[in-house]
Every structure is written in structure tokens, then in C-alpha cells.
Structure 1
Amino acid sequence: MHISDDDPMDMAAPPTLAEVAANFLVPVMSFAAQRSLEELGAGATGHSMNGGPMHLDSVSVSYTLWRNPDDRSDPVNLAELSEADRAALEMPPVRPLPDWMIRLTERMRFPSLWEAVMTTRHASAELTLVEHVNHILTNVFREERVVDGLFGDLDSPVDERHIERVSVVVDGREVAGMRIDTDPHVYAVGADLGDRVLTVVVAREHLPYITLAFVTGAPPRS
């Protein structure tokens, strides 16, 4: 096994949601504050023209899920991991690690809502919701849904025919929105907010522990 010469202690921490949002041209959406969810990280996609500066097109937010937020040591909070994954997490690091890397490694013991909430600029709300759902199915439910190997096809992808019109709670009020409630693995909602599109994709097993309500900007940390 090759070990990189890069010193982990020299690696920069991944950007926070606030740092990513500062470079986005429209407000970023997130889950409304709730004790069962803790911000895990933020990511972004973008484009550049002719090698120019990067323009962000979307921002996604991931969360750690606490099934029992009153007692984080409760085993009910742990994710279902394979023996190999659990052994890898128990193995002591071969080099000192920065605090942020230790924290992210520790969070791998718990279930997460990966790229659950996405804010997208200049997009069709319906197409963005469909693409978000299929993206989560391909990456989070690869073992269950992707056929013919690593670069195979998604089995039974969703499309715009699966969209229903519903209301979605944003900043404490109901707005016109949409949902996809036909997939066996995930549930999704979205809304066109004018200058941006909100889309949210959550594994069905996590739905009993969360409230599907959203706010503009990051809620205060608990």
C-alpha cells in the first residue's frame, strides 16, 4: 500500500457552509434547526468560461443524523457498517491527524444525509429535482440500485412524470412546491424560489427522525 508523502497536518479543512455560501450569488437553503440534524459539510459545483473565474451553480449541504439526540452515546445512533468498515475506523492512524479530519472520521460511525439539501441557480425546478434524486440513488444506494458494475446504469431512475404538486415549508410558511414519493429508497421535495431552486432528497429510513422544513441561510448551531 502506498502512503502519500503529504502531511495530513498541512491539509486545509474543507470549507464550512458559511464559507461556501459567501461565494454563492443567491442565498443558500438548509434544513430548519432541529436537534436530530447536525451540519456535516457543504459542497458546490460550478463552471468557468475560457479558464476564467469559477462561478458556482449549486451548493449542497450534508448532515449527521442523531436518532437519539438526547444521548449521542446511545448505540441507536450508530450506522450499520460492514465489519471491514468498522475495523478500518477502529484502526489507529499511522500519522497525526488534524482535528477536522478526526471529527469527520468519527462522524463516519453515524448515519448521514449526504448532499441532502441543494440550492441551484438558473435551473428548471422539475429537472433539478429529478437529477438530485437520481444523483443520490446512484451514489448512496449504489449497491441496491446500480447494475453492471461501477460504471453501470441506475435501475429505475425517476423522471418528471413522478413529480406531484405539494406545499413545502420554507422560512416558516408554506410555498408552492413538488415532491417525488414513488421511489422505494428516497423521498424528495423541492420548490422554485424565484432566484434559486431548493431540492431535498432524504432516505426513507431517516424520515421519522426529521422535520421537512427549510430556512434561508444556515440555522444557528446547537
Structure 2
Amino acid sequence: MRFEGILPEDAPDPRIKQARLLKLMPIPVMGLVPQPSLEEMDTVGFQSGEDDRGYSEMTASLSYTLWRNPNDHSDPINLADLDEQQRSAVESVPPWPRPAWLVEHVGRLRYPLLWEAVHTSWHRDPSERTSVGGLLVDHVNYILMNQFRQERGLSGYPWDQPAPDVTVRAVNRRVSVVLDGVDVPAAEIDTDPFVYGIGAELDGGGVVTAVIPRSELGHVRIQFATRR
């Protein structure tokens, strides 16, 4: 979530609208299996496309707070590596009251975030459906473009970038992943130095993909489960 200007104390919680939009998804939204090191953010990203017949595509995205030491949330190892500007933005308290949901959101920024780690994508028409590999490539490049610009030696705006680092040639389709307790065929991208990605087809014209920073792979169990 990004906010500009001064929000009044009674500003509506954007999560209410997000929850309404999420109900429009024709297929279940997937996430990573519950595990002590991950805490799902209660904000769900939602993107959609429409035509004269209604919604033609939708994507729901889940982000997670990462606990490197889930047994002790006060352990400094759990804190995010913030620069001075980021730390000041998190710790400064303005002289005006803020909505409770915004205070909660800002507090979460003290900890590492697996931003948009899981995407559930749906396309209405079979002719418009993208392969697991194609959607995984898109997800990987989206994370790289937004979260790893400094590591990749890029500057400027996210949309002002060179050609994508990852293409379909990086997709390995000879793997499987656990989805709701069952091994299913999957597609994997295990060639990028900064992130690892994996995805699988879902019933009803859907695809689930996950992209995780390599630096945090040791803290995350990558298995999918239907989000409750």
C-alpha cells in the first residue's frame, strides 16, 4: 500500500475494499502453507482486466512478513535492513492522529517483507490463458524490477529498465510441487542469482506462482495451499 498526503484518523481501511474485490475471483486464492516463519499480510493485491462480457482476467497477490527467528519476534535478526530514509519514515510519529490500520501497516515495515510472493492468476477464456512458464517468467521479472534494482545496478524508475533478465528459456518443467498436500507437475526458474520461482496449474483456468528471494529460501517452505 502507498499513501500520499495526510490521511484523517477516520479514513476508511483499504482492506475492506480489497476483501470485496477478492470475492470476485472465480477460483480459490492460493498461498504458501502455514508455517511459523511466515505471517500473511492482511492486505491482498488485486488486478483485473475487463471486456464487454465482464472480467476476463484476475490476479490476487499475497505478501508475507518474514520471521527469521519465529520463536522470538523481538530477536534483532528479525528486523529488516533499512536505510536511514526508510528507518526515519518508519520511526517518525507525525503531530496529527493517524488511522489505526495505517499505524499497524507502518509498524510492519520494521520487518522483512516477501512482497507479492504468491500470485494466483485466472483467465476466463482458454485462448487467453498463459502457460505456467509464461506467468512464472512474468512474476519473476516483476519482482526483480521492483525489489532488486540496486542489486542489479539499475537506477531511475522501475519502468525505465532494460530487457527482462529472465525469459522462458530459464523455465524447467521437469519438477513438481506440493499443492494442498498432493505432488503436482510444476515449472521452476532456478537460474536467477536473486530469486527462485516455481508455479503450477490450478483447476478452473488458474495458475499459482511463487517468487522468493534466494537470501530467505532457508526460512521458507515452498508448498502451496488453498487460502482460508
Following superposition, the deviation at residue 54 of structure 1 comes to 5.6
- Tell me if structure 1 keeps the 8 A contact 2:44–2:63: yes
The answer to whether the aligner puts 1:136 opposite 2:143 as a matched pair is: yes
1:27 and 1:217 in contact (8 A); partners too: yes
2:209 maps to a residue whose letter is T
Distance 1:159 1:16 in 2: 35
Give the distance between the partners of 1:26 and 1:81, measured in 2 at CA. Answer: 37
**Equivalent residues in 2 for 1:111-122, closer than 5 Å:** 111-122=112-123
Q: Is the 8 A contact 1:129 1:189 kept in 2?
A: yes
The 1-side partners of 2:191 and 2:36 are apart by 28
Q: How far apart are residue 190 of structure 1 and its match?
A: 0.4
**Any unmatched runs of 5+ in structure 1?**
none
Runs of 4+ in 1 over 4 A off after TM superposition: 15-20, 52-56
Q: Deviations over 1:107-151 (max 9, x none)?
A: 101001101000111232111110000000000112223635224
Q: TM-score, normalised by structure 1?
A: 0.88
Most deviating of 85-94 and 158-167: 85-94
1:192 aligns with 2:196: no
**Equivalences for residues 96-111 of structure 1 within 5 A:** 96-111=97-112
Q: Superposed, which structure 2 residues align to 1:77-92 within 5 Å?
A: 77-92=78-93
Contact 1:145–1:155 under 8 Å retained in 2: no
Answer whether contact 1:175 1:191 (CA < 8 A) is retained: yes
- Select the residue among 212, 215, 221 that pairs with 1:211: 221
Structure 2 runs not aligned, ≥5 long: 124-128
- Are the aligned partners of 1:181 and 1:187 in contact in 2 as well (CA < 8 Å)? yes
Aligned to 1:175: 184
Name the SS of the counterpart of 1:137 in structure 2: helix
Distance 2:58 2:187 in 1: 21
> What whole-Å deviation, never above 9, does each CA across 1:171-191 have from its counterpart, x for those lacking one?
011100011000000000001
Give distance in 2, aligned partners of 1:181 and 1:84: 33
> 8 Å contact 1:146–1:152 — kept in the other structure?
no
Deviation at 1:99, TM superposition (A): 1.8
Shift of 1:193: 1.8
Q: CA offset at residue 16 of structure 1?
A: 8.3
- Distance in 1 of aligned mates of 2:17 and 2:63: 11
SS state at 2:60 partner: strand
Q: How many residues align?
A: 215
State the secondary structure of the residue aligned to 2:151. helix
Q: Distance in 2 between matches of 1:20 and 1:38?
A: 22
2-structure distance, mates of 1:211, 1:86 = 29
Q: Is the 8 A contact 1:62 1:117 kept in 2?
A: yes
1:72 and 2:79 are equivalent in the alignment = no
Partner of 2:33: 32
Question: RMSD of the alignment, in Å?
Answer: 2.2
Task: Tell me if the contact between 2:18 and 2:46 (Cα under 8 Å) persists in the aligned partners.
Answer: no
Query: Cα distance 1:56–1:101, how it changes in 2: closer, same or farther (>3 A)?
Result: farther
| Equivalence map 1:4-15=2 (5 Å) | 4=5, 6-15=7-16
In 1, distance between residues paired with 2:220 and 2:17?
22
Equivalent of 1:160 in 163, 168, 174: 168
